[in-house]
Amino acid sequence: MLHGSDPHVSIREHHSIRIYQMGSVHLKGLSKISSALALVVKAAIQFVILVWFLCVKIARPDAFIVQNPPSVPTLAAVKLSSWLRRSKFIIDWHNFGYTLLGLSHGRNHIIVKTYHWFESYFGRMADGSLCVTKAMQHELAENWEIKATVLYDQPPEFFHPTSMKEKHELFCRLKNDICPPNGAFDCIHTRNEKSFRFEASNELDHPSDSLFTSQVGNDIFLKPNRPALVVSSTSWTPDEDFSILLQAALMYDRRVSGVLGEDDSITEEKLWLDICKGEQLYPRLLFIITGKGPEKAKYEQQIKKLKLRRVAFRTMWLSAEDYPLLLGSADLGVSLHTSSSGLDLPMKVVDMFGCGLPVCAASYSCIKELVKVEKNGLLFSSPSELADEFMMLFKGFPDKCESLKSLKDGALAKSSSSKWSTEWETHAMPLISEIIS
């Protein structure tokens, strides 16, 4: 693997897993002269590094299993290494690399067409293939002449529902990120002209308290006046239109403000009193967006320009250990993934279901293979649809939102029934055993 974020501790310390880190290739000087030449040179260098690791650094395996994409130069490097070491070559198709490249260059660009040829040529040279959806299986069979076995992604064991103690400890660790003392001033942490403190309560100053939880002795409980927590993870890339979530949040904010009244001074005081009594009709929403990517700064600037009264955003990067805990502590997950090919499924939704978190997911061709509408999630195709779902799910939060509780029950049932080991032993192992026998 290339040097990046550390994997979960259960992976780093597993006795059967060896992680080899390869250095990144940077060609800044050459890219200024010719971007196309820089891509070719970079691919060539990566090819040599991959072959060196696969043929020299590691012990000979029975089979190489390579996830696609990326396709260039990975598929060629693994094919050569499998031939040199007399090992089998298996591809795990998670998406198509050429469709991802087409997001920035267009499907008809010569680079994209060349990438497509490369991907399909080496794809057909594999000894076996796995893929993540029935729709992709059909595409590979009909248009690529590749027979693939469907292996649905399942969350690792460390994606599971979060206990109350884990929630409290997590929110206490994240207290400064969620409610920075001199940072964002909004419905989570703000003052108006009358120096009116508008936050869950002054108990936030207590060391054993968080925005969402309180501890009294050994007892930990969720605050009835807490905001609803919505989590979305993103790579901040063009295949996820984050503006949809921003527009939906703005619509929710305006609709809730309209329900509460138009007079700001009265509205703020009335809302505060209702929150203290636990009688708010619609809760404040706190969106925590996790991930790294090229478009993050652009969207953070857009968030700063929004005039929100009932909604707040926080962007952060969490460790591999804390991310599953956050998913298991949230009230709702949002997926904006639409797939460059329309044939893969968002792993983030798989992880959310593993933690028992219901999901609102962007609708596209094969998403129903994962999200069962009105059972463990809902689908949306526009900002207004997503805003409607927020209004419907969070009305009466936290105790009187039956629709949200029903989806939560469905997500919890999914988390208990979906096991990676079962999926692997049922679908992947028979294929691999047949190939290497």
In a domain, 4, yes or no: no
Is 405 part of a structural domain of the chain?
yes
214: part of which helix (H) or strand (E)? strand 213-216
On whether both 34 and 69 belong to a single domain, the answer is yes
CATH, residue 104: 3.40.50.2000
Q: Which amino acid is at 168?
A: H
Rounded Cα distance between 199 and 179, Å, is 9
Rounded to whole angstroms, how far apart are CA atoms 249 and 308? 9
- Give the model's pLDDT for residue 217: 85
Q: What is the pLDDT of residue 200?
A: 40
How far from each other are the two terminal CA atoms of the chain, in whole angstroms?
Answer: 28
CA 341 to CA 193: how far, in whole Å?
Answer: 51
Whether residue 97 is found in the same domain as residue 209: no
Model confidence pTM above 0.75: yes
CB 131 within 8 A of CB 151: yes
Residues 18 and 138 both lie in one domain: yes
**Same structural domain, 150 and 44:** yes
- Mean per-residue pLDDT for 221-246? 90
Are 149 and 21 members of one domain?
Answer: yes
> What's the number of CA atoms in the CB half-sphere (13 Å) around residue 312?
21
Per-residue pLDDT at 155 exceeds 80: yes
Here the tokens at position 78 are 């693994």
For residue 416, what pLDDT is reported? Answer: 79
Residue 253 lies inside a defined structural domain of this protein: yes
Give yes or no: residues 211 and 358 share one domain: yes
- What's the confidence (pLDDT) of residue 166? 96
Decide if 233 is inside a domain. Answer: yes
What is the spatial distance between Cα 148 and Cα 86, in angstroms, rounded to a whole number? 22
Question: How confident is the model at residue 234, as a pLDDT?
Answer: 87
d(CA 65, CA 59): 14
Residue 241 has pLDDT above 60, yes or no: yes
**In this structure, are 131 and 168 located in the same domain?**
no
Q: Are residues 329 and 370 in the same domain?
A: yes
- Cβ neighbours, 10 Å, residue 305: 7
Q: Is residue 1 part of a domain?
A: no
Six-digit token string for 205: 């100053």
Reported as a single tens digit per residue, the pLDDT across 8-27 is 888 888 888 888 888 777 66
In this predicted structure, what is the pLDDT of residue 195? 34
Assigned token pair, 386 = 């997503």
Residue 434 has pLDDT above 90, yes or no: yes
- pLDDT, position 201: 42
Does residue 279 belong to any structural domain of this protein?
yes
The boundaries of the domain holding residue 254 are 164-417
Q: Is residue 72 part of a domain?
A: yes
More confident residue, 243 or 280: 243
pLDDT at 432: 95
Instruction: Give yes or no: residues 25 and 115 share one domain.
Output: yes
Neighbour tally for 114: CB within 10 Å: 13
**Most distant pair of Cα atoms in the chain: their distance:** 76
201 and 76 belong to one structural domain: no
Tens digits of per-residue pLDDT, 92-132? 999 999 999 998 888 999 989 999 999 999 999 999 999 99
Closest CA to 384 of 280, 293, 224, 248: 248
| Residue 86 in domain | yes
In this prediction, residues 180-190 reach a mean pLDDT of: 63
Please check whether residues 219 and 110 belong to one and the same domain. no
* Domain count across the chain: 2
Q: What is the 3-state secondary structure (H, E, C) of 62-98?
A: CEEEEEECCCCCHHHHHHHHHHHCCCEEEEEECCCHH
Same domain, 32 and 136: yes
CA distance 397 to 228: 8
Closest-CA residue to 179 (of 218, 219, 206, 161): 206
Digit-coded pLDDT (tens) for 305-356: 888 889 999 999 999 999 999 999 999 999 999 889 999 999 999 999 999 9
